Amino acid sequence: MDFFRHHPLENANTQLGILTLKPAQSLHAPLICSIETHNFGDHLEYEALSYVWGSTLQTSTIMLNEKKFSVTRTLEGALRYLRKSSNGRRLWIDTISINQNDFKEKNAQVLRIRDIFAGALEVLIWLGEPDMETEGALRYITTHYTANEDHDWPDRWDPEFIQNLPCLQKLFSNPWWSRMWTLQEIVVANFDPIFLCGNVKCYWSVLHSCAMHLFMLTTHTYIPFNVDMEPLIDLGFIANRWKDRGDRNEGQKTGVAMNIENLLITSAARGATDPRDHIYAILGLLEASEHSITTDYDAQIKEIY
Residues contacting residue 304 through CB under 8 Å, at least 6 positions apart = 276, 279, 293, 296
Burial of 300 (C-beta count, 10 Å sphere; 0-12/13-18/19+)? exposed
Residue of 45, 24, 20 lying closest to 33 (CA atoms): 20
Q: How far apart are CA 18 and CA 21, in angstroms?
A: 10
Is there a contact between 235 and 186 (Cβ–Cβ < 8 Å)?
A: yes
What are the residue ranges of helices labelled H in 245-300? 260-266, 277-280
Entry pTM: 0.91
DSSP for 74-126 reads HHHHHHHHH--SSS-EEEE-HHHHS-TT-HHHHHHHHTTHHHHHHT-SEEEEE
Is there a contact between 110 and 295 (Cβ–Cβ < 8 Å)?
A: yes
Q: How far apart are CA 18 and CA 64, in angstroms?
A: 12
Q: Please list the pLDDT of the chain residue by residue as tens digits (305 residues).
A: 799 999 999 999 999 999 999 999 999 999 999 999 999 888 899 999 999 998 888 999 999 999 999 999 999 999 999 999 999 999 999 999 999 999 999 999 999 999 999 999 999 999 999 999 999 999 999 999 998 766 778 888 899 999 999 999 999 999 999 999 999 999 999 999 999 999 999 999 999 999 999 999 999 888 999 999 988 988 998 888 888 755 434 444 455 556 777 888 888 889 888 888 888 898 888 866 556 677 888 777 766 66
Helices and strands (H and E) in the chain: how many: 12, 11
